[in-house]
Chains A and B, each alone.
Chain A
Amino acid sequence: DTEVTQTPKHLVMGMTNKKSLKCEQHMGHRAMYWYKQKAKKPPELMFVYSYEKLSINESVPSRFSPECPNSSLLNLHLHALQPEDSALYLCASSQGAGGAHEKLFFGSGTQLSVL
């Protein structure tokens, strides 16, 4: 299994809703990532978990709350989002915990629309 699986594929939510994005990998990878990608822009790093511990938080607003329940799962909890948070949210994983040569495996993303 060489896939990173993200659910849901599409999500529409209001500004007062609470929702969660889920990501799963069964490759035994030790690092997992959340990226945000606006239309026609490159992905922007949000969070990195290494060995299930948060290692990088790129000054992301607190309305985004990551969680890594175990080495295979990564969640992103959403609360009180703004319309400008509408984007494609990509999950990725890598085998090790941060070597410079590492290949990232990306999921297909969750397309989020905030109304």
Chain B
Amino acid sequence: GDSVTQMEGPVTLSEEAFLTINCTYTATGYPSLFWYVQYPGEGLQLLLKATKADDKGSNKGFEATYRKETTSFHLEKGSVQVSDSAVYFCALSGAAGNKLTFGGGTRVLVKP
């Protein structure tokens, strides 16, 4: 079945540091890939998505590129802020379209 693996956290960074969160997936066919973010005490919000190979999703300074050859969708941000402290979930939507498969989540803590 479909699965998503992402790096375990917590990831602790200083403000303005570079952030990378690795995500790899296993799926049949051509899934859509997503990054969701969960701030403390809140539900999940879509951060960005990509629907086909080589697509780049971007939002709020975050980027991720759909790499089919390496089955990866790594999240990057060039300069993080304290407000980026949250849990980040990589997810895919496969053949059963309305069923998201989530990775385990990566907690990111940005210190001033």
Identify the A interface with B (CB < 8 A): 4, 6, 31, 33, 40-43, 45, 48, 50, 55-56, 90, 92, 94, 97-109
A-B contacts, 18 of them at CB < 8 A, read A4-B43, A41-B104, A41-B105, A43-B102, A50-B98, A56-B96, A56-B98, A92-B43, A97-B98, A98-B96, A99-B98, A102-B93, A102-B97, A103-B34, A104-B100, A107-B43, A108-B42, A108-B43
Chain A, Cβ-Cβ closest to B91:
A42
Establish whether residues A42 and B93, one from each chain, have CB atoms under 8 Å apart when the complex forms: no
Interface range, B side: 20 to 34
The answer to whether B26 has its CB under 8 Å from any CB of chain A is no
Q: What 4 A-B pairs come out closest when comparing CB atoms?
A: A106-B43, A98-B98, A42-B102, A100-B97
Establish whether residues B43 and A100, one from each chain, have CB atoms under 8 Å apart when the complex forms: no
B32: chain A residues at CB < 8 Å are 100-101
B98: chain A residues at CB < 8 Å are 31, 33, 48, 50, 55-56, 94, 97-99, 102
CB contact under 8 A between A100 and B31, given known A31-B98, A56-B99: yes
Chain B, Cβ-Cβ closest to A105:
B46
CB contact under 8 A between A42 and B99, given known A101-B49, A101-B93, A104-B46: no
The proximity string for B residues 69-112 relative to A, scoring 1 for CB distances below 8 Å and 0 otherwise, is 00000000000000000000100011111111011110100000
A90: chain B residues at CB < 8 Å are 43-44
Establish whether residues B93 and A45, one from each chain, have CB atoms under 8 Å apart when the complex forms: no
The answer to whether B1 has its CB under 8 Å from any CB of chain A is no
Chain B, Cβ-Cβ closest to A49:
B98
How many Å lie between the Cα of A28 and that of B109 in the bound state? 36
Other contacts beyond A42-B105, A43-B44: 11, CB < 8 A: A40-B107, A42-B103, A45-B99, A92-B43, A98-B96, A98-B97, A98-B98, A100-B94, A101-B32, A104-B46, A105-B46
